[in-house]
Structure 1
Amino acid sequence: MKTEITLQSVPEEKPGFIAIILYLAFIYGLFWVINQGLIYLFRDITNELLVKIFNNIIWIGYMFLHYKVVKYFLYLIQKQRRSPVILPVLSISEMGINYYTESKKTEWKDISEIQIIDAVLSVTVDLNSEKDFKLNLFKTDLQKQMTQDNFEKLLEYHYKKDVYIYNTPSSCGCGC
């Protein structure tokens, strides 16, 4: 059994180019439907002043929505082009546990409680509550390195007190 492990972050998923194009097609199709609906609603207005006011309000609204759509489109393209960043998140060794995200290194003797509830690791330190942390294990590469049962055994091997582990059973969706 491995006695030391370093968990790393899992890069976030990127949107595909097809999803981005479908997003744009949907939004501009929605613009067209709204435009046709507004033309249908205002077709009976004969007052030219009201028509100009409505046209200006609609034009300003379209420009604002277009600005938001283009801004989000550029964000998606930027997110797509960004290279994934993989960083160490958690290290377990004989000396203790090290949570890299917030630079919290703790020795085993200082830890008062360790819990794993639905794949969320919670570490509590009595004397220094600033060192407490929670980590969602699904956001790490734990599944690639070992099973969750082996991870729990590793924690129990190093941490001589009880490790509280609770997994909610999966629901069948029937409301039972």
Structure 2
Amino acid sequence: MHEFSVDVALLALRVGAGLVLLAHGCRKLFGWFGGKGIAGSGADFAAIGFRRGRLNALMAGLSEAVGGASLALGFLTPLAAAAVLGTMLVACSVHAPAFFALDGGYELPAVYALVATVVAVAGPGELSVDEALGHPLADAAIRVTAVALAAATGCAIAIQRRIAVRAQA
């Protein structure tokens, strides 16, 4: 059983990161908070080498918005964390090689990927919807498998994009 302070820390981590991810997703999906919506985000995705830019923008926006909201609630946590992790790994590849966010680097998506990994492996804590529902998907093997599959999928998408960009050069 977790100590209460660990549960409060997991709650703060989930809610803080989850709500920011939700906002990022809403920028892509709806144009809220100064975003471009699907049409503009899709054009941006196509410009940086994604074949089907609009579809990839939709998937990234949904992963951020739904994954972020679900993380914040601690609901189906391994699936939420996997959605966020895969998307953030792709975002890291887009922003590499620069590291710092002020330089257009991958610093911020790397932090979100780390948060998603920690929450997936640790679980959402006692102060979560998953706890209230009796820990759906709480098995450690499910949590680790979700992280592994998300990492593999994110890396595969990033590699596919890199190959497409090199082919266009």
Shorter-normalised TM range: under 0.3
| Structure with greater proportional helix content | 2
TM-score (norm: length of structure 1): 0.27
User: Whose strand fraction is larger, Structure 1's or Structure 2's?
Assistant: 1
TM-score (norm 2): 0.28
